[in-house]
Amino acid sequence: PAYPSAIPDHYCSEIMIFRGFWMVSWFKQEFGLREQRIAEAENVSPESLFDELVNTVPPGSMGLMLQPYWTPGVRDPGPEAKGGIIGFGDVHTRAHVYRAILEGLAYGLRDGLERLQQRNKQQVHLLRVSGGGSQSDAALQLTADIFGLPVERPHTYETSGLGAAMDTAVALGWYPDCEAAIKSMTRVGKRFEPDQQVHKVYDRLYKEVYLKMYKQLQPLYRSIQDITGYPEK
């Protein structure tokens, strides 16, 4: 849906993967004990250590493909949806699973963006990413490669708080309008350019595998729901 923007005559379109980057926390809890212990000893965040896991695995996670529906959707995906990972082989480790989580989230966001572009008749040429997941350089490079677009990280990942402060500053008259507040209070922290050779690999996996996964698995999800009662109808 489109929501009114704080900026006059603008709106915000939303793509939602319900509890999307929560999956990083899920992975940390279930498979990240080693990183948690190291992080505690070195006084750093466990998530920062997960970049090392990502970088040990090639793009495409050696064929491991993840559908990020750990929590059922409302309409697309439907309430019967479940998370899925396909393509396991004896070469795969938890590092492959973690990279596949990030890739699956990026595939899901790309799918949503392409639908928005169709509906809005507007082409997107640049991504700006904020929030907790944006602290990972590996995640942002991977996102640039999957979308085939440059990705920019703002100077702070807490952009919701920054936006509220900017609205307040304009309302108090500290700035004459939102454009002036944006110019004064925001800047790009780091930019990630897509690797076009890697993008070709991701583009095939996205089009030939990811986009087909939900339609292929949906009947099985419904059977699982009917047999086990989970997710509840």
Structure tokens at 232: 């509840």
Domains and CATH numbers, the chain: 19-150+193-228 (3.30.420.40)
pLDDT digits (tens, 9 = 90+) for 82-139: 999 999 999 999 999 999 999 999 999 999 999 999 998 999 999 999 988 888 999 9
The Cβ of residue 51 has, within 10 Å, a number of other Cβ atoms equal to: 16
Instruction: Pick the closest to residue 214 from 93, 89, 91, 112 (CA basis).
Output: 112
pLDDT at 71: 87
pLDDT at 115: 93
pLDDT digits (tens, 9 = 90+) for 174-205: 999 999 999 999 999 999 999 999 999 999 99
The CA-to-CA distance between both ends of the chain, in Å, stands at: 24
- Which residue type, as a one-letter code, is found at position 172? L
* Interatomic CA distance for residues 156 and 78, integer angstroms: 34
pLDDT at 109: 95
Q: What is the mean pLDDT of residues 142-168?
A: 96
- Position 216 pLDDT exceeds 80: yes
With H, G, I as helix, E, B as strand and everything else as coil, classify residue 104: helix
Q: Is 42 exposed, middle or buried (0-12, 13-18, 19+ CB in 10 A)?
A: exposed
Comparing 12-26, 143-157, 216-230, the range with the smallest average pLDDT is 12-26
* Interatomic CA distance for residues 81 and 99, integer angstroms: 21
pLDDT at 77: 87
Mean pLDDT of the chain: 93
* Residues sharing a CB contact under 8 Å with residue 102, sequence separation 6 or more, in sequence order: 24, 54, 136, 138, 139, 142
pLDDT at 134: 87
**Residues written for the chain:** 233
Cβ proximity of 71 and 78 under 8 Å? no
Cβ proximity of 139 and 24 under 8 Å? no
Kindly calculate the radius of gyration of the chain based on its CA atoms and give it in whole angstroms: 19
Beta-bridge partner residues of 128: 152
- Position 6 pLDDT exceeds 90: no
